[in-house]
Amino acid sequence: MKIHAHAKVNIFLKITGEKEHSSGQIYHTILSRFMRVESLYDTIRFVPCECEHFTIEGCDDIPLESNTIYQAYKALNAHTGDLDILNFFYKHKVVVTKRIPSGAGLGGGSSDAAAFMRLVKKSCDLLISTEELARIGATIGSDIPFFIYNYPSANVSGFGEVVEPFEESPLDLELYTPPIHCNTAAVYQEFRTHFLDKINLCSFIGWDKIDSKTLLEMIADPFVLNDLYAPALKVCPKLEKVAEEKKGWFFSGSGSTFFQIKPCE
């Protein structure tokens, strides 16, 4: 039993404000176009194995409690109370083949958690809708609902829980991820401190109706397309040199991946 957990890029990402989350915390709200990257994915397998406890292999550099897959496992158990899930993972271990770099703005951890949840639903015959699975996923990470729905392209808004499919084929993208880890929380904090008061909601009206290729050609400025680009450069100064080398490329999420439409040969 295996499933691919694809990366994503943000074609555009605009911060629309702040409001109280159901958790009681104040979080940013967004409007963004998420696009699945067909050529880059982690692989998650459920392998028969007698296990005394929930076991993950392939993520040794991540503490278990911080692992999004483990968090998804706990959230599914808490929500469903289904003993079939517990029993299944006494007899199977989770093996992850990582290809998506972390801290790269590609959603690797969120994609892994969502793929895990989708595979558990199938493997354990859970009577749970995709919408309900997405609501559970949203309690773990804001990008997870997009990956639960598994749309090739979608407009994502709110805290990330509103996912509306956008009818277009995924672009053939070229990615460049430097060995620089961007801390998402730090990038958002930098935005809150120095950029939040510069939000202009009128500046991106209608972007959610325009196809991604046209948007990239029409706007063509990574600072305009992605509100987190400028704060990411402040938080990770080493990105400045990469930005110079990749002038004309775009920036995904909170970084550090740059992307462009793959040139025709």
- The catalytic position among 14, 42, 121, 143 is 143
- The catalytic position among 8, 112, 208, 227 is 8
Query: Which CA distances in Å does 122 have to 71, 86, 138, 151, 257?
Result: 18, 15, 20, 18, 32
Query: Which CA distances in Å does 67 have to 57, 59, 64?
Result: 11, 8, 5
Examine the residue annotation and report whether 112 is marked as an active-site residue of this protein: no
Strand stretches in 63-204, DSSP E: 92-97, 153-158, 162-165, 173-176
- Tell me 198's DSSP state: G
Examine the residue annotation and report whether 125 is marked as an active-site residue of this protein: no
Q: Distance (Å, rounded) from C-alpha 195 to C-alpha 192?
A: 6
Residue 60 CA, chain-centre distance (Å), reads 21
Q: Which two tokens stand for residue 183?
A: 């801390």
Q: Active-site positions?
A: 8, 143
